[in-house]
């Protein structure tokens, strides 16, 4: 049981076999082949898969995940040190996304309360009608009916 078949990896990781194929085709994971050309996965690949899944949860595109994994030794499991660096990086990107979403949420929260009845105070205004902000012209987001 030194190596795992694709089915075993699927079971352990919870991924469909097709996704494992796909990720391998994209260079995210690697396998050896048996005499009969079947995939054989070294155990450390499981850790890479776990890391990839976390990256995805963090909203990192596969191409970027692949790029950072490529900077790591391919033949060993992701080390604690590498993982700390990776998680720091992904945490940063998450921080950004959370900040942006939170700002939007707070703005939406204000819209609920105010009903955006005051055009000049509405945060939506400047963000959405380029022309309208350049003069007293027609207003895209005038919520006064």
Report 120-139 residues binding a copy of itself (CB under 8 A). 124, 128-132, 138
Task: Considering only the stretches 54-62, 95-103, 113-121, 136-144, report the one whose residues sit in contact with DNA under the rule CB under 7 A.
Answer: 54-62
74 binds a copy of itself (CB under 8 A): no
Residue placing its CB nearer to DNA in the complex, 19 or 107: 19
79 binds a copy of itself (CB under 8 A): yes
- Residue from 54, 62, 68, 72 that binds a copy of itself (CB under 8 A)? 54
Order the strands of the 3-4 sheet from edge to edge.
Answer: 3-4, 39-42, 32-33
Cα gap 126→132, rounded to integer Å: 8
HEC states along 20-66? HHHHHHCCCCCCEECCCCCEEEECHHHHHHHHHHHHHHCCCCHHHHH
Residue placing its CB nearer to DNA in the complex, 24 or 72: 24
- Angle subtended at Cα 126 by Cα 122 and Cα 132, rounded to the nearest 5 degrees: 110
Report 18-47 residues binding DNA (CB under 7 A). 18-19, 21-23, 31, 34-39
84 binds a copy of itself (CB under 8 A): yes
Do residues 15 and 52 touch, judged by C-beta distance below 8 A?
no
Q: What percent of the chain is helix, strand and coil (3-state, nearest 5)?
A: 60, 5, 35
Q: What is the dihedral of CA 120, 123, 127, 133, to 10 degrees?
A: 10
Report 61-80 residues binding DNA (CB under 7 A). 61-63
Residues binding a copy of itself (CB under 8 A): 11-14, 43, 46-47, 49-50, 53-54, 57-59, 76-81, 83-84, 87-88, 90-91, 94-95, 97-98, 101-102, 104-105, 108-109, 111-112, 115-117, 124, 128-132, 138, 140-145
Residues binding DNA (CB under 7 A): 5-8, 10, 16-19, 21-23, 31, 34-39, 56, 61-63
């Amino acid at each position: 049981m030194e190596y795992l078949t694709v089915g075993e990896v699927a079971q352990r990781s919870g991924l469909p076999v097709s996704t494992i194929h796909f990720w391998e085709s994209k260079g995210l994971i690697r396998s050896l082949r048996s005499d009969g050309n079947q995939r054989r996965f070294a155990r450390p690949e499981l850790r890479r898969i776990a890391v990839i899944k976390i990256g995805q949860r963090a909203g990192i595109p596969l191409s970027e995940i692949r790029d950072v994994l490529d900077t790591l030794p391919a033949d060993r499991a992701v080390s604690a040190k590498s993982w700390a660096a990776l998680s720091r990086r992904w945490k940063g990107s998450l921080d950004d996304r959370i900040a942006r979403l939170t700002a939007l949420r707070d703005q939406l929260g204000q819209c609920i309360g105010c009903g955006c009845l005051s055009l000049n105070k509405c945060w939506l205004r400047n963000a959405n009608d380029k022309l309208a902000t350049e003069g007293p012209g027609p207003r895209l987001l005038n919520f006064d009916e």
